[in-house]
Amino acid sequence: MKKLLMGFLSLLSYCLLGQLGNVGINTVTPGSTLEINGSLAAQYRLISADYNMSITDYYVAYNGSSVGTITLPTATVAYPAQGHIKGRTYYIKNTGSFNVIITANGSELIDNQTGLPVSSIGLGQGWFVMLISNGATGGVVTWEAVVINPTTSINTIISMSSNSTYNLPSTANFNSGIPQVLPFTAGEVQVNQGSTASWDAANNRFVINETGIYELDALSYFGAGGTTGTSSYIGVNLGITKNGIGAANVIAGTRANIGQAVAGAGNTPVSFHCLVNLTAGDVIHLTMYRGAFDSATGTVQSQAPAGVSEARHFSLKKL
């Protein structure tokens, strides 16, 4: 029995140790700290809902039926303290039809290759990311990211259009200068495979997947359905809001001063074209609201209950 044990240990040493300090599997001459002369298997996990990455994960594929969020683990201690996660590597791919957001934990940040570090990055359809912990903790870059976009086109586009007329839910809010989100249905949205932005149908918004300069074009046909007041025109703002839908979140747009009689009698085109700098993880909405206008004879507003109606078109392209 003793001889058998010694023989086994000798064989194990032959299989694993080729030279001092290096370990080889199926080789006696490992040239690296660990060299495997053969295949390697690691954890594969398919998910369809929000998920928190853990120590047992390696490769995760997202195939959800709506926009999802994958949260990275917290780096609780910095390298070289016991319990650090320096060097931990995750591979994540979006195999579904909806965007998935990769989010750092707490105040930690992700180096997304271009620009300033971000708290989250978005993966469009078919996108892939490799994430490696650098061993840091806290409100600094703790994860390095390599993002692969499968499309061969530099200018990826989301475009949509609607010929339908939509009645805003609150004429009072519109008149008070509160931006009203202009919705689109899933059938009206066209998203390129591997696009730099995605459409979140549940919340009527765009989710930016890649940091950069974006070209935005918007057109809306505005009709007041009747007006009140005695001023000569009504001011209508068509704009884009970022990371919120309040007036303070407006980052681009235009104002059209439409004659009172025209506004109440039919639809008038309002449009804008602009370039904006957006960061991965940003969400934007197309909105409309009445612009402030006061005069000695009163302020023109949309008349209830006929309210406000509009038909809209919108496109977004990363330059």
Q: What is the pLDDT of residues 135-174, one digit of tens each?
A: 999 889 999 998 887 654 445 666 666 666 777 777 788 8
For residues 206 and 198, is the Cβ–Cβ distance under 8 A?
Answer: yes
CB 180 within 8 A of CB 173: yes
Residue 305: predicted pLDDT: 43
Q: For residues 56 and 43, is the Cβ–Cβ distance under 8 A? A: yes
- Structural contact between residues 310 and 166, judged by C-beta atoms closer than 8 angstroms: yes
Residue type, 260: Q
Asked which of 155-164, 174-183, 215-224, 306-315 is least confident by mean pLDDT, the reply is: 155-164
Give the mean model confidence (pLDDT) for residues 59-65: 95
Strand positions, DSSP E, 59-211: 59-62, 68-71, 89-94, 100-103, 109-111, 120-123, 128-133, 141-148, 157-161, 166-167, 180-181, 189-191, 197-200, 205-208
**Cβ(207)–Cβ(280) below 8 Å:** no
Q: Which residues contact 255 (CB under 8 A, 6 or more apart)?
A: 235, 236, 237, 238, 291
Verify cis geometry, omega within 30 degrees of 0, for the bond prior to 169: no
What is the distance between the alpha carbons of residues 239 and 255, in angstroms, rounded to a whole number? Answer: 8
Q: Per the structure block, which two tokens stand in for 75?
A: 């780096």
CA distances from 216 to 9, 121, 252, 288, 318 (A): 68, 21, 9, 15, 9
Select, from the ranges 63-67, 193-197, 222-226, the one with the highest average predicted confidence (pLDDT): 63-67
**Band (7; pLDDT cuts 50, 70, 90):** low
DSSP SS3 for 49: coil
At residue 154, the pLDDT reads: 44
Residue predicted with more confidence, 309 or 124 = 124
Q: Which CATH number fits domain 157-318: 2.60.120.40, 3.90.550.10, 3.40.50.10090, 3.30.930.10?
A: 2.60.120.40
Query: Buried b vs exposed e over 207-239: b needs ≥16 C-beta within 10 Å?
Result: bbbbbbebebebbbbbbbbebbbebebbbbbbb
SS3 4: helix
Fold of 48-148: Jelly Rolls (2.60.120)
What is the domain partition of the chain in residue ranges? 48-148, 157-318
pTM of structure: 0.53
The answer, yes or no, to whether residue 220 has pLDDT greater than 70, is yes
pLDDT for position 85: 93
Does residue 249 register a pLDDT over 70?
yes
Of the chain, the percentage scoring pLDDT greater than 90 comes to: 32
> Is it true that 48-148 and 157-318 share their CATH fold?
yes
Q: What is the pLDDT of residues 263-277, one digit of tens each?
A: 777 778 889 999 999
